[in-house]
Copies of this chain bind each other. A is one copy, B any other.
Amino acid sequence: MNRQITLVARPVGYPKESDFKLVETSIPTPEDGQVLVKTIYLSVDPYMRGRMNQRRSYAPNVQIDEVMVGGVIAQIVESKHPDFQVRDIVNASIGWQEYGIAPGEGLRKIDPSIAPISTGAGILGMPGLTAYFGLLQVGKLQDGETVFVSGAAGAVGSVVGQIAKIKGCRVVGSAGSDEKIAYIVDELGFDDAFNYKNVTDYPAKLAELYPDGIDVYFDNVGGRITDAVFPNLRVKGRVVICGQISQYNLENPETGPRFLWHLITQRARIEGFLVSDFSDRHAEALVQMAEWLKQGKLKYRETIAEGGIENAPTAFISMLKGGNIGKQLVKIAELD
């Protein structure tokens, strides 16, 4: 028997448990070229909130009564593709379910000898690649620049700050708890950090932290903290828009101060991106990331929810509210 989480109502504001439903169904059978996989870890990510809406996005929305979309770390149970054997571990996009069918073509194998397989959904997976390409390719980070990261203790932000340190930059992060602040400064080596819940005047705080301005701002959060960056940007500054998690769950969209004139005075750039824009270079980036990990230059933490697939909605909602440090996963099953 297979168990899935479907979307049964489009959330207004933060998702609620009742927007999801646990559905039992039969385990499907792979066709030629496909594999059947068993989910070991389910990844819950901020982008999924956007897929629950009806508005235009870069990918199709989840329809009512469809299985929630998402990536998993999974083990192959049955293979009808020559490149995959039973027990191989892969990163698959089968959504929130215990078993699923994936095409073998383009499926990424996870090598368990490099790092725990859960990292395939974190620092050696989509969030790590997002940090890497967002900072280096979109942000065009140069050695020695000043970097600010919002959502700095999350799966992406925590990697952004560490790559910036590898590049010899000064990096400050914002996050939403003192525990997160201690983590990114003491364990990850950020130069400084602040708990945005304990600061009221963000522009003044950033002016104090960056007397000569910010070269690259990596934005996971949006809202008031992002507003505060524009008056503190350096000439030719870059703002990388990776996420806007503060805005995803608002019942009534916020307004904010207009800031585009700062882009003229500073000759600055704001740019959004998706990690999939760089898919032809993911493999090379993962080699680099794995090397940094092995050298101890990159560290990571995971927040793993137990309780199986039925706990995915709770874990997802907790992540949206900042309950995680590092990558948020849901443990679904043990490896065979």
Contact = CB atoms under 8 A, between A and B. Distances in A.
Contacts of A269: 269-272
A244 interface: yes
B263 A241 contact: yes
Given A256-B256, A258-B222, A258-B255, A244 B264 contact: yes
Q: Is the interface of A mostly helix, strand, loop or mixed?
A: mixed
B247 A258 contact: yes
A226 B268 CA distance: 17
Interface in A234-251: 235, 241-244, 247-248
A314 interface: no
Interface residues of A, number: 38
A260 interface: yes
Contacts of A260: 219, 222, 226, 241, 244, 270, 272
A254 interface: yes
Interface string A251-285: 00111111011111111111111100100000000
Given A255-B255, A256-B258, A58 B273 contact: no
Interface of A: 50, 56-58, 219, 222-223, 226, 231, 235, 241-244, 247-248, 253-258, 260-274, 277
5 contacts: A50-B261, A244-B264, A263-B271, A266-B272, A267-B273
